[in-house]
């Protein structure tokens, strides 16, 4: 009797190894969960993780700030002149851009530098500091000339990128500093008063 029982148990164990068990268990199928709520929760977590990765990398992730902003048109004549040459470049790099703030100087800094205009944009897609390379290349292609103020290459530090250019329009010549703030998801353009020592090779 004991031998017969041993043979039966051995056969069952062997069948379990070959076929996955003597009986079907709940959750054997890879997509089967005890409840659909569990499956939905896992799906949501995967989507959220994917969204976070997209925000870190930039790419094609939509910037929520862009979606909720109505944007505005530049009011100051000098700001309008700047916006006409800046926004097309931002659109080429980021898909689109909206002007969300504008200030017309003069604003004198502690070092004596005078900021004449400041334009703040929000891009259609999530921006990262690494976008500084793409923006710099696009500005060069758009006939912006690098200036000695910040050097001929972009400066990129973690969540921030900055670069300087000259731009001449039919109205006048500008000394500009572009900054990408990945934390605030903003692109800031400042126009400095010409004649500064920072715009000349020293």
91: tokens are 């659109």
In a shared domain, residues 37 and 125: no
Dist. CA 5–CA 11, nearest whole Å:
10
> Residue 77 contacts by C-beta under 8 Å, 6 or more apart in sequence?
none
Instruction: Please tell me whether residues 113 and 195 are part of one structural domain.
Output: yes
> Are 112 and 26 contained in the same domain?
no
Angle, CA 186 vertex, CA 65 and CA 90 arms, to 5°: 100
Q: Match 């500005």 to its residue by tokens.
A: 139
Residues 70 and 165 in one domain: yes
Total domains present in the chain: 2
Rounded CA separation 196/198 (Å):
5
Q: Does 94 lie in the same domain as 182? A: yes
0.75 exceeded by pTM: no
Residue 45 structural domain:
2-57
Reading the chain (202 residues) residue by residue, the pLDDT tens digits are: 545 544 444 554 444 544 444 444 444 444 444 455 655 555 555 444 444 444 444 456 889 989 888 889 999 999 999 999 999 999 999 999 999 999 987 999 999 999 999 999 999 999 999 999 999 999 999 999 999 999 999 999 999 999 999 999 999 999 999 999 999 999 999 999 999 999 987 5
* DSSP annotation of 72: B
């Amino acid at each position: 009797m004991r031998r017969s029982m041993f043979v039966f148990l051995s056969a069952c164990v062997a069948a379990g190894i070959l076929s996955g068990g003597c009986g079907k268990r709940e959750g054997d199928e890879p997509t089967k969960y005890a409840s659909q709520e569990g499956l939905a929760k896992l799906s949501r977590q995967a989507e959220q993780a994917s969204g976070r990765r997209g925000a870190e990398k930039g790419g094609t992730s939509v910037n929520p700030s862009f979606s909720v902003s109505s944007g505005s048109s530049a009011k100051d004549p000098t700001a309008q002149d700047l916006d006409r040459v800046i926004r097309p470049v931002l659109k080429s790099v980021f898909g689109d851009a909206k002007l969300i703030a504008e200030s017309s100087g003069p604003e004198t800094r502690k070092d004596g530098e005078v900021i004449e205009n400041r334009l703040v944009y929000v891009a259609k897609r999530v921006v990262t500091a690494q976008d500084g390379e793409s923006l710099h290349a696009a500005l060069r292609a758009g006939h912006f000339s690098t200036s000695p103020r910040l050097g001929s290459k972009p400066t990129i530090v973690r969540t921030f990128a900055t670069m300087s250019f000259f731009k001449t329009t039919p109205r006048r010549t500008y000394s500009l500093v572009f900054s990408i703030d990945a934390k605030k998801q903003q692109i800031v353009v400042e126009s400095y008063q010409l004649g500064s020592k920072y715009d000349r090779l020293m």
